[in-house]
Amino acid sequence: MINKNSKIFIAGHNGMVGNAILKKFKRLGYKKIITIDKKKLNLTNQEKVFKYLKNKKPDLVIIAAAKVGGILANDLYKSKFIYENLQIQNNLIHGSYLAKIKNLIFLGSSCIYPKLAKQPIKEKYILTGPLEETNDAYAIAKIAGVLMCYNYSKNYKLNYKCLMPSNMYGPNDNYDLENSHFFAALIRKIYEAKIKNKKKFTVWGTGKPFRELLFVNDFADAVMFFLNKKIKYPFINIGSGKDFTIKWYANFIAKELGASNLKIIFDKRKPDGMPRKLLDVNVAKKLGWRAKTSLKQGLKMTLDDYITKIN
């Protein structure tokens, strides 16, 4: 049982997701949180990771560390995405096993599912069809992590859980246009167009794909909720249960920023990615968890964070 005196190692605490989890634990009074900057511990270095876990011997490891990016980065740098993610998660999962750490939470991604999966996507649809081509390298790494946790738990009587979130957004997101996810990129493009008095902004693809968004603080809440729950499933979908088109999100952000007059130009030469990936979140709901933050509330907090960053 993990409690407020347990030692908890959060790998990737400086990223959007890891930082939200760290803040959640601190708010709730967890006293022994372990973090380390990636400059001091390269998580792709097996020897150093194994040694670190053996020395620290936490009661729980949370893997929020990963090489992530939007559709452009995923498509251009597949070799990096598959190598670095496999290395990071292999080192942390196997290293935890070697250090006799019984509890671990691995963060997956909704891109593990087939490109043309039936909607909404149930957990059982994993490996039932071809992946989306632009992010298949990242997806394969995540699938490997899911199967690794499941089989280590089964073979060695460990409690290694996997939570599978939809697209996340929120404070501490990455707004770099080459590496960010679509929602962060839209926020930056629309905000910059507004303050520079531009008449239009460009969006990748047709704007027709549907995307489900989950506010990062809601995901941190899910991590806390499932911390001590006994889960019989290999992994659980974590999402809001609602999705809209990229075009809808662009218009929504523009309206909230008071920039509804901006014209959206769709660059149809660029790929759309998966046409839709709405998660079926009935398992999480049956176990008692559901997302609480409205898109309007989440966007306001994210915008406040973005404006603070650039000023």
Label the pairing between strands 210-215 and 167-169: parallel
Looking at residue 71, its pLDDT comes to 76
User: Which stretches of the chain are DSSP H helices?
Assistant: 16-27, 46-56, 71-76, 78-98, 136-156, 182-195, 216-226, 246-256, 282-286, 295-310
Can you tell me the distance from the alpha carbon of 49 to that of 33, in angstroms, rounded to the nearest whole number? Answer: 17
Give CA–CA dist 241/243, Å, rounded: 7
Total domains present in the chain: 1
Is 93 contained in some domain? Answer: yes
The pLDDT of residue 181 is 87
In a domain, 156, yes or no: yes
| Catalytic residue of the set 30, 52, 113, 138 | 138
- Determine the structural domain holding residue 131 and report its residue range: 7-171+213-240+277-292
Domain for residue 189, yes or no?
no
Active site residue 138: yes
Asked whether residue 194 is assigned to any structural domain, the reply reads: no
129 located within any domain: yes
- Tokens of residue 138, six digits: 């990242």
Residue 1, in any domain of the structure = no
Q: 3-class SS at 225?
A: helix
User: Which residue, 44, 46, 63, is CA-closest to 98?
Assistant: 46
In the prediction, which pLDDT does 232 show? 87
* Angle at alpha carbon of residue 169, lines to 258 and 14, rounded to 5°: 125
Residue 265 domain flag: no
Under-50 pLDDT residues of the chain: none
- CATH code of the domain in which 217 resides: 3.40.50.720
Q: What span, in angstroms and rounded, lies between the C-alpha atoms of 153 and 228?
A: 15
Any domain includes 229 = yes
- Supply the pLDDT for residue 127: 97
By the 10 Å C-beta count (0-12 exposed, 13-18 middle, 19+ buried), 90 is classed as middle
